[in-house]
Amino acid sequence: MAHTIKIAAAQLGPNHLTSRREDVVDRMLRLLHEAASYGAQFVLFPELAFVTFFPRYVLTPEELEPFFEHGDLLTSPTTAAFFSEARRLSVDVSLGFAERTPEGEGFNTSIYYSASTHSILSKYRKIHLPGFVDPLPDPNAINQLEKKYFQPGNLGFTAFRAPALVGITTEHSDSTKVPRSSSEREAMRGDPIFGMIICNDRRWPEAWRCLALQGTEVVFCGYNTQGYCPELAGTSPHKPQTKAEAEAAALVDHLLVMQSNCYMNSVFGVCAAKAGLEDGNFDLIGGSSIIDPKGKILAMTETRGDEVIVADCDLDEVKYGRSAIFDFDRHRRVEAYALITGQTGVVEPPFLR
Ligand code: CDT
């Protein structure tokens, strides 16, 4: 039985402070149609897809609020039509947005929408929030205020199964039949297992490993990554870079973490950027890609504008790594990993005398 899914990543070009949500959603619909015309069964859109990357700005509460979504995306007047169209096309989608909860909390969130059930199957709230709580003192610095505007995600790294994408040999409703070992997983297969992370999470191996430990086969990651942002990454005072050098290095870092984590966890990785020059001044890298469990790039965008890429992902390919070099059951040594969850920052060995 084939276990291949045709997966698309829809990169968005820049959004601006002046961009209307309706227009952004129209662009997303165009990308959705293009992906569907290639036969894609799933399309990934970027982090904070509907808006410019607003955490770069120091905003009053009144200025901040319009960047957030306040209700159910499936019924909200600006986004309902997008999900209805995905349902009509039988294409699952995942996208990122700023979520304001009824309790007033703010999260940097992504959802997985299933066309076959017309429902949000899973929600992820970004856990690794980069940057600072307070604006930087230098008025010319590029701020990254996610820690000010969002709370760290409270839903964990939670894998989930998505129905109606591939043939299965086990009823997904029969939870007693969940395989418990690599050999049982060889013999039985339920619906595919997916996991979501958002942007900065991709740089943290802990996030990938938590998903891989739940048998995740495909990891989705939307992102907005600054090409030039010396206050945060790329340029150390000891090794200054031009903007062009910084952007090239940011792309290398991005692909390095995507490819290596796919390899080390034997998962497919799909990532979709919001890219290009936002608000005339702030460049975001492209490099949206689909990567196989050996870390090989199957498809990558060539522009920094609206662009769709697709690849056939044969989920059976995750099995090889998981039964050989990365067979967790046989090779992991949890008794040696206590520092990973017991300690946050660095504690060096004592000085020599
Ligand atoms: N959105 C987001 O998380 N961006 C961070 C910026 C880090 S500075 C290059 C990222 O990790 O891509």
Give distance in angstroms: CA of 312 to centre of ligand 1: 28
Give the whole-angstrom CA distance, residue 158 versus residue 236.
35
The average pLDDT across 13-19 equals 98
Give the whole-angstrom CA distance, residue 177 versus residue 303.
45
Please tell me the predicted confidence (pLDDT) of residue 233: 74
Q: Among the options 85, 146, 199, 210, which is catalytic?
A: 199
* Number of Cβ atoms within 10 Å of the Cβ of 264: 17
Q: Within its chain, how far is the Cα of 30 from the centroid?
A: 21
Please tell me the predicted confidence (pLDDT) of residue 219: 99
Contact yes or no for 175/101 (Cβ under 8 A):
no
Give the 3-state secondary structure percentages of the chain, helix then strand then coil, rounded to 5: 30, 25, 45
Please tell me the predicted confidence (pLDDT) of residue 230: 80
Beta strands in the chain (DSSP E): 4-11, 42-44, 92-100, 106-114, 119-125, 160-161, 193-198, 218-223, 268-273, 276-278, 282-284, 289-291, 297-300, 307-314
Q: How confident is the model at residue 232 (pLDDT cuts 50, 70, 90)?
A: confident
Pocket of ligand 1 contains residue 40 by CB under 6 Å? no
At residue 285, does pLDDT exceed 90? yes
Please tell me the predicted confidence (pLDDT) of residue 171: 56
Please tell me the predicted confidence (pLDDT) of residue 324: 93
Contact yes or no for 282/142 (Cβ under 8 A):
yes
Contact yes or no for 13/304 (Cβ under 8 A):
yes
What is the atom index within ligand 1 of the atom nearest the CA of 128? 3
- For helices 243-265 and 205-212, angle between their N-to-C axes, nearest 10 degrees: 30
Is 199 marked active-site?
A: yes
Please tell me the predicted confidence (pLDDT) of residue 229: 83
CA torsion through residues 179, 185, 186, 191, sign: positive
Name the pTM for this structure: 0.95
The average pLDDT across 83-88 equals 98
At residue 165, does pLDDT exceed 60? yes
Q: Within its chain, how far is the Cα of 14 from the centroid?
A: 18
Is 126 marked active-site?
A: yes
Q: Per residue in 33-63, pLDDT tens?
A: 999 999 999 999 999 999 999 999 999 999 9
Pocket of ligand 1 contains residue 274 by CB under 6 Å? no
At residue 186, does pLDDT exceed 70? no
Q: How confident is the model at residue 250 (pLDDT cuts 50, 70, 90)?
A: very high
Architecture in CATH of 4-342: 4-Layer Sandwich (3.60)
SS3 at position 170: coil
At residue 256, does pLDDT exceed 60? yes
| Domain ranges (residues) in the chain | 4-342
Please tell me the predicted confidence (pLDDT) of residue 341: 96
Please tell me the predicted confidence (pLDDT) of residue 86: 98
Q: Among 200, 235, 252, name the best residue to mutate to test ligand 1's pocket (greatest count of ligand atoms within 8 A of Cβ).
A: 200
Contact yes or no for 98/48 (Cβ under 8 A):
yes
Please tell me the predicted confidence (pLDDT) of residue 188: 76
For ligand 1, atom 4: residue with the closest CA: 225
What is the per-residue burial (b if ≥16 Cβ within 10 Å, else e) of 271-307?
bbbbbbebbeebbbbbbbbbbbbebebbbbbeebebb
At residue 174, does pLDDT exceed 80? no
At residue 30, does pLDDT exceed 70? yes
Please tell me the predicted confidence (pLDDT) of residue 318: 96
Mean of per-residue pLDDT scores for the chain: 94
At residue 178, does pLDDT exceed 80? no
Contact yes or no for 66/17 (Cβ under 8 A):
no
Q: Per residue in 312-322, pLDDT tens?
A: 999 999 999 99
Contact yes or no for 41/5 (Cβ under 8 A):
yes
At residue 173, does pLDDT exceed 60? no
Give the whole-angstrom CA distance, residue 309 versus residue 298.
9
Which of the 8 DSSP states describes residue 351? Answer: P
The average pLDDT across 177-184 equals 69
Pocket of ligand 1 contains residue 300 by CB under 6 Å? no
Contact yes or no for 127/78 (Cβ under 8 A):
no
Please tell me the predicted confidence (pLDDT) of residue 308: 99
CA torsion through residues 238, 244, 248, 251, sign: positive
CA distance to 99, 128, 194, 252, 264, per residue, from 182 (Å): 38, 31, 18, 34, 17
